[in-house]
Structure 1
């Protein structure tokens, strides 16, 4: 289990001294089988922080989110908000807003009635409800569609209504369960930017669940990568990408080349290919070493010094062309080349040399589970 410590309160204005805004302590959940759906997770969120739980289906991220919301009872552990234990508290009393993957809008209610549902249940006056609905509708840019019904809205508009409804009761924490998974790619990019702008404007602490890496990296202050009910690593998007703490994180986040071999002067001998790397002072000659090289950290040239090979395939990605290169040793390597330079290299079968950036190689821990 990895302890997920939030940044010091002094680094995030508004965080009460002595506790995080949202704290998860050693939470466990099992559904009767040998494996736990959530396996001793600890997690801290500072006030106003945006954290994403990222992982494949079945890794436990949605179960954990629903435990925090109060929809699922944990077998062990504690959930607290602003220092108050809410583990046994009913969902409606936790001051947490929840946006479901399906949005779960009431089909027979208008946009205005959906947004104001929690306010009506709470017995707020009509004037107060109307004022709050109008404010939230403007916030999510739905003020002209208040009399429409869910079936008359696009997916993106329904998502905005679901967000406004979750915010209506003025929650301290916002929980979102893959709210953009049903939208097409273009709309998702637009809405994720809008979502982040809204939560920043409100200063609301947010925990977001997704399996989309790009979405997680683009939205978050920190990302918690989950696997088999546990957190493999938590850190800023840059930390997760450039300094993965395990082979799983390295392979799960983005595209990478895993290089394993023996430490030699200036790098790693991977079965005849010498990969340049800045090894730590304690590395001993001949010691087994594993590291990753991202495709963008491997320069490609038509000739000269480097790892020799031939182009086996390419994929045009706009700004870069992603090349698959087979080295003379037989190893396959993925490298990114700027589009305007790739056309000078030739096509399939053309000889090239690869020049990995020693400063960008990320050393991986040894002896971990694969």
Structure 2
């Protein structure tokens, strides 16, 4: 998606200092006795890209539809620049929506799909369609029909149609789920670059954690209709607030034990961890060690184990180490470092980085 002469159709007033561009306040939605969204609150600043991340059934799509106006909350409010839009129809919310299925009209051309909701003089509509087609790099395809396009091209049409009315917000519901991995990586980079150029406030839904971490300014991890944690991708990955987030995001080595001098003792082994201030001796704790935060050596000081498996992943080698207790630990090391150094079945020594370990909350609420 190349930079073009794309311009907005109207000037927008600057956001009042300190006021969120979009605010969701205590929104709840239930279907019969099943609570889909449970008193959720969060805010987006103007131009911010926030992703709702979670497994199927966690409520992320329902929450997106409540923001868009396709569903009405049982309680709570949705504010656009401080204005309550909870009762407004979707067409009056200034929000462009990209559906998971793209929802293109099969009997209309690309140009007709993009311009479906445009009004005004024909010449102005045609200029707008041409402008948007260039923006998302489908201008040679405007005369084709959806069935003549690839999945990636259909996604670009849906994105152009969502931008046609010059929305204040862009809402996307798993728009890349039907694409293969290579195309997803390419399009997500292009999407983020486009959003940055336009400065449009974006709320994105996905179950793909790699996609969420790569795209977002902030990620909201959802579970059972609630936001478990919201923060920057680095916060979510390196400083998970709960055990659920620690296990949901990335690969985790969770060590459950008790606080001792210098760390957490589990199964007769002390794992070096910087404990929180005023931690009582003997307190039950769970420490998180990401695979890349574990060093490995053939001998010397550390935690003894046996190398069980080694999987080549390109830049890294993923190693499985079995401790004397039977616990299996995952270690990621640079492949240029790991290749051939430790044969399978050989004795190795783990060297955890105590400054990288994190104590996580056992209770999810």
TM range, smaller chain: over 0.9
Q: Which residue of 2 aligns with 1:174?
A: 170
Query: 1:136-179, CA deviations, whole angstroms, 9 ceiling, x for partnerless residues?
Result: 11110011111111111100000000000000000000000000
Q: Which residue of 1 aligns with 2:341?
A: 345
Query: 1:296-324, CA deviations, whole angstroms, 9 ceiling, x for partnerless residues?
Result: 00011111111000011122111111111
Tell me the CA shift for residue 14 of structure 1.
Answer: 4.7
Residue 15 of structure 1 contacts residue 46 of structure 1 at CA under 8 Å; is this kept in 2? no
User: Structure 1 length as normaliser, TM-score?
Assistant: 0.93
Which of 217, 232, 237 is the matching residue for 1:221?
217
Separation in 2 of the partners of 1:327 and 1:345? Answer: 19
Q: Which residue of 2 aligns with 1:320?
A: 316
Separation in 2 of the partners of 1:176 and 1:300? Answer: 42
**SS class of match (1:107):** coil
Query: 1:194-226, CA deviations, whole angstroms, 9 ceiling, x for partnerless residues?
Result: 000111100000000000000000000000000
Q: Which residue of 1 aligns with 2:6?
A: none
Instruction: State yes or no: 1:294 paired with 2:290.
Output: yes
Separation in 2 of the partners of 1:84 and 1:97? Answer: 18
RMSD: 1.3
Q: Which residue of 2 aligns with 1:3?
A: none
Separation in 2 of the partners of 1:27 and 1:149? Answer: 39
Separation in 2 of the partners of 1:354 and 1:329? Answer: 14
Separation in 2 of the partners of 1:343 and 1:99? Answer: 45
Q: Which residue of 1 aligns with 2:87?
A: 88
Instruction: State yes or no: 1:41 paired with 2:40.
Output: yes
Separation in 1 of the partners of 2:298 and 2:336? Answer: 14
The change in CA–CA distance for 1:25 and 1:18 in structure 2 (over 3 A counts) is: same
Query: 1:57-102, CA deviations, whole angstroms, 9 ceiling, x for partnerless residues?
Result: 0000000001111111111110111111110101101000000000
Separation in 2 of the partners of 1:173 and 1:21? Answer: 9
Residue 37 of structure 1 contacts residue 228 of structure 1 at CA under 8 Å; is this kept in 2? yes
Residue 277 of structure 1 contacts residue 359 of structure 1 at CA under 8 Å; is this kept in 2? yes
Separation in 1 of the partners of 2:192 and 2:100? Answer: 17
Which shows bigger deviation, 243-252 or 279-288?
279-288
Tell me the CA shift for residue 18 of structure 1.
Answer: 4.7
Matched ranges for 1:36-75 at <5 A:
36-75=35-74
Q: Which residue of 1 aligns with 2:102?
A: 103
**SS class of match (2:240):** coil
Q: Which residue of 1 aligns with 2:116?
A: 117
Separation in 1 of the partners of 2:205 and 2:174? Answer: 5
Which of 231, 236, 255 is the matching residue for 1:235?
231
**SS class of match (1:241):** helix
User: Structure 2 length as normaliser, TM-score?
Assistant: 0.95
Count of residues in Structure 1 that have an aligned counterpart in Structure 2: 353
Structure 2 residues without counterparts, runs of 5 or longer: 1-12
Structure 1 residues without counterparts, runs of 5 or longer: 1-12
Tell me the CA shift for residue 263 of structure 1.
Answer: 1.1
Separation in 1 of the partners of 2:24 and 2:58? Answer: 17
